[in-house]
Amino acid sequence: MHTPERLDGRALSYIGIALLTWSSAYAAIAYALASFTPGEVALARLSIGSLCFAVLLLIKRVPLPARRDWPALAALGVVGLSVYHLCLNTAETKVASGTAAILISLVPAATAALSAVWLRERLSPRTLTGLAVALLGVVVVVLTSGKQVKVEPMAALVLVSVLSSAVFFVGQKPFFARSSMLGVTGFTFFAGTLGTLPFGLDLPHALAAAPASHIGALLWLGIAPTFIGYIAWNAALHRASASQVSSFIYFSPPIAVLIGWVWLGERPTLLTLVGGVITVGGVVLANARRRPPVPVAPVVATPVKQG
């Protein structure tokens, strides 16, 4: 059944769930890296997510995509999940959180560009302006939130994560039209997990030596940001265009600041709040729909009586 592509209330709720769970991932990754390597964190996270998908697909009896689509979906899983998580985890061992936040916020722009080329999604000047305004707001948030921002060669890995994420979001879109969203997502996770296997072979030994709290961080990563987050995100992608949905990633840094304010007592500055408002305004502008012109009733000439 084809779903009309529009940002309705259900799509927005899916996006909200994804952003809230994804925003918690950065702290969980940093916490888990104290006991695990970047490859082990990626393998554990995707393995837990894949296990959850396998159980869900069995319970709901969701079929896998057609075999002709397996090679393309496997490639998407390796690029969009294996490469993304391996590069991001490795970068987080060196890159300051502020730098990573700014670079990850390039995902909407990269996704919009790929959508225009790959899916022929038309990007209006209003959308492009909104994306630029939102990115400016993210930069203001990060630069004024007390996080360190510096140039680091390892940041190139974050840029690889940005590109792989954009390819993943856009590349899945055509498959949703002919296969179940859950089936497509689950299959890419199975492929992505296999892609990280060579980089996490010592995971069993690391699990035996790690404290329970660090293992708990891995469980959280696998269940909340990975399983729940990606289902919600792909459900939104199924209902709206890739460029529209990805623009909401700009909300992630402001959400992280708010979480720090509520949970950790890190009070944001006035400029940080202003940056958050700019970000919200940019996302709203990028997703605003131009009102259709009001149809004008044709004027019917009244015949004149001849006397």
Asked, for residue 306, whether it belongs to a domain, the answer is: no
Provide the pLDDT for residue 85: 93
Does 43 fall in a domain? yes
Confidence of residue 57 (pLDDT cuts 50, 70, 90): very high
pLDDT at residue 142 in the model: 59
Number of H helices, E strands in the chain: 16, 0
| Domain assignment of residue 139, yes or no | yes
Distance CA 264, CA 200 (A): 32
* 110 compared with 181, residue with greater pLDDT: 181
* Domains held by the chain: number: 1
What is the Cα–Cα distance from 218 to 46, expressed in whole angstroms?
10
Q: Which domain holds residue 188?
A: 9-287
Whole-number mean pLDDT of the chain?
Answer: 79
In tens, the pLDDT along 189-241 reads 999 999 999 999 999 999 999 999 999 999 999 999 999 998 998 888 887 77
Question: Which of 30-34, 146-150, 226-230, 292-296 bottoms out in mean pLDDT, i.e. has the lowest?
Answer: 292-296
Q: Position of tokens 């529009």?
A: 6
Tokens 């397996």 correspond to: 70
**Burial level of 119, CB count in 10 A (0-12/13-18/19+)?**
middle
pLDDT in the model for residue 2: 47
The closest of 258, 263, 262 to 280, measured between CA atoms, is 258
Is the pTM higher than 0.85? The answer reads no
Distance CA 70, CA 62 (A): 16
In a domain, 54, yes or no: yes
Instruction: Name every residue whose Cβ is closer than 8 Å to that of residue 188 and which is 6 or more positions away in sequence.
Output: 73, 74, 76, 77, 80, 81, 168, 172
Tell me how far apart the alpha carbons of residues 229 and 221 are, in angstroms, rounded to a whole number. Answer: 10
Residue 249 located in a structural domain: yes
252 or 272: which carries more pLDDT confidence? 252
Distance CA 89, CA 38 (A): 5
- Asked if residue 166 lies in contact with residue 105, where contact means CB atoms within 8 angstroms, the answer is no
**Does the pLDDT at position 272 exceed 70?**
no
Instruction: Answer yes or no: is 292 within a domain.
Output: no
Is position 2 within any domain? Answer: no
| Per-residue pLDDT at 132 exceeds 90 | no
The answer to whether position 34 is within a domain reads yes
Cβ atoms 156, 276 nearer than 8 A: no
Tokens of 15: 């996006």
pLDDT in tens, 85-118: 999 889 878 765 555 666 666 677 677 777 776 6
Model pLDDT, residue 296:
47
